[in-house]
Amino acid sequence: MHRPLLLALALVTVTGCSRHESAAPAATLPAVAVATANVRAVTQPQVRPVAGLVRPHDRATVAARVMGTVERAWLAVGQAVEAGEVLVQIRAAELGARLEQARAALAQAERDHARETVLEAKGAAAAETVRATADRLRIARAAVEEATVLAGYATIRAPFAGVITADLINAGDLAAPGQPLFTVEGSTNLRAEVPVPESLATLPTGTVVGLQLDDATLEGRLVELSPSADPASRTRLAKIGLPPGTTARSGQFIRALWPTGEATVLTVPATAVQALGQMESVYVVVDGRAQLRLVRTGAQSGDTIQILSGLDAGETVVVAPPTQLRDGQPLQVQP
């Protein structure tokens, strides 16, 4: 009754033994020529990534200063504008009328003052009368200046060169003093604004701070750092100037690499580390043979990568190990 089961077990045993015997041990494989490097213990500056956003130094929400109907609005989100470019025209006829009245009063005051001055020279006018006309002349000139400024408020211009980021009004709308019309942001002089935890060190302005933007690493300079922390988030706002020519845009995600001091770390060439499934490994040279070692890596800097665990300083690792290399295989170390 049990003969089929026993026969099956016997076949499995024979098959298993034959596979084990057919696999050649790594020690019998030929020596592989490899390049090696030592695990180095180096003192490196340590940083902590802090997430933030790219913001321009120049940004403003422009509001109306007089009441009137919007006659024209040359606005579109994403529109590039130049400093002083006319963007909104408000129709306020009473401001023009007020300016004309002020100019007429100024002309009258000038004539009165000129006449009284001539009469005073002839002895036909009192000095007090001349002083009174001079005072009225100064008042009239100030009224013209005031009316001119008010009339100029009807023409809204871009405060600086940049890009329109919000269009808040259209032609035909009623504009009132204090009402936002549009938002403009500068396209140059960008900064990284990051909330720095209060536990991190205070840096003096001008300190070079590393930045990570997409896949690029930049160097910026600390421009501002709030001396007090936000009571809710316990962070301090830092503003770091981006280098000129950076292809960043307002609102883009960025990381600041905030310095936290120095520490001694182990490093190896980045090419020595290989992916082993979800883990990482290196080949260590032990008694002339390759020994597979699982490691945990940290940050990469240039051609080297930090080793957090799995290696000791002074050990030798295989650089760019060949694909045919196996654990325990003899090595021929290249000079």
* Cα gap 282→312, rounded to integer Å: 12
pLDDT digits 0-9 by tens, 19-34: 333 345 666 788 999 9
The more confidently predicted of residues 139 and 247 is 139
Quote the pLDDT of residue 198. 93
Q: Cβ distance 240 to 220 under 8 Å?
A: yes
Give the confidence band of 121 by pLDDT, cuts at 50, 70, 90.
Answer: confident
Domains and CATH numbers, the chain: 26-44+264-333 (2.40.420.20), 48-58+188-263 (2.40.30.170), 61-185 (2.40.50.100)
* Cα gap 57→54, rounded to integer Å: 10
DSSP symbol at 330: B
Q: Cβ distance 223 to 207 under 8 Å?
A: no
pLDDT digits 0-9 by tens, 229-263: 999 999 999 999 999 888 888 889 999 999 988 88
**Percent of the chain whose predicted confidence (pLDDT) is above 70:** 92
Quote the pLDDT of residue 25. 64
Tokens coding 260 = 């936290």
Q: Cβ distance 237 to 257 under 8 Å?
A: no
Tokens coding 225 = 């750092």
pLDDT digits 0-9 by tens, 42-89: 988 888 999 999 999 999 999 999 999 999 999 999 999 999 999 999
Q: What value does the mean pLDDT take over residues 114-127?
A: 87
pLDDT digits 0-9 by tens, 299-321: 888 899 999 999 999 999 999 99
DSSP symbol at 75: -
Over its C-alpha atoms, the chain yields an Rg (Å, rounded) of 39
Quote the pLDDT of residue 187. 81
Quote the pLDDT of residue 87. 96
Quote the pLDDT of residue 24. 52
Q: What is the mean pLDDT of the chain?
A: 88
pLDDT digits 0-9 by tens, 191-210: 999 999 999 999 999 999 99
The more confidently predicted of residues 299 and 115 is 115
Task: Read off the pTM.
Answer: 0.61
Q: What value does the mean pLDDT take over residues 163-173?
A: 93
Quick one: which of 138, 122, 188 has its CA closest to 161? Answer: 188
Quote the pLDDT of residue 171. 92
Is residue 13 predicted with pLDDT exceeding 50?
Answer: no
Quote the pLDDT of residue 26. 64
The helix/strand/coil state of 243 is coil
Quote the pLDDT of residue 66. 93
